[in-house]
Structure 1
């Protein structure tokens, strides 16, 4: 799709601890070194849990293109988490395509909701330059 991609691993089929890979990749998104991240694990949820602990990251789990569209339109998510054990490559490709090409909605109600989520982040997460 014309994007620059950095594969952060792992580069084998060996069992790994997701935090060893998701944390540095999510941190790079939080620091705005990358605009977005796409993480693939067994079902997607552990990657999202880890990523959402980083200031500036809004990670979502999507299992179909409809959810991917809403995750961008309504929430302006910047990390997509996919479950490699529950979706196949064809649907994963459609989810990624939809998520990458959908822009956030700009109506007041969506902006208000996003701001409320950002306010929660401000109250409970440290900014990366404060760590």
Structure 2
């Protein structure tokens, strides 16, 4: 698995925590920033990651901003992206099993680093169940076409 990861200024600390989780899990990733203390625009980070996942260059993506809302809205504008905004372990698991989410969004101002690490770990190791869920995901893909 190859993961693209990025944050705006509001998600730098959680992004670094998640990268350490991927190191522990020996998951290949590329960091798309940001490395600044000043305000930046979240679409400048969300859209490139979403495009790389949609193109197949990366299998999944992870985005972090202050709340996760802006990143998830921007990422979901890209055809083929199913970005899930997650703030708990249950939905981290279910969004992979049932929705085959290919991008995870989180908010650094909403959750702490320990929970963010667990959410990322669960989301990264959980596989899509397929079956009855595949038909539902396919309806979304068909709609986008």
> Given the alignment of the two structures, is residue 85 of structure 1 paired with residue 109 of structure 2, yes or no?
yes
Structure number with bigger Rg: 1
TM-score by length of 2: 0.80
* Unmatched segments (≥5 aa) in structure 1: 123-131
2:95 corresponds in structure 1 to: 71
Counterparts of 1:1-131 in structure 2, within 5 Å, are: 1-107=25-131, 109-122=132-145
Backbone CA RMSD of aligned residues: 0.9
Q: Distance in 2 between matches of 1:31 and 1:118?
A: 14
TM-score by length of 1: 0.89
| Structure 1 residue runs of 4 or more that deviate by more than 4 Å after TM superposition | none
- CA deviation after TM superposition for structure 1 residue 44, in Å: 0.7
* Unmatched segments (≥5 aa) in structure 2: 1-24
Q: Which has the higher strand share?
A: 2
1:125 corresponds in structure 2 to: none
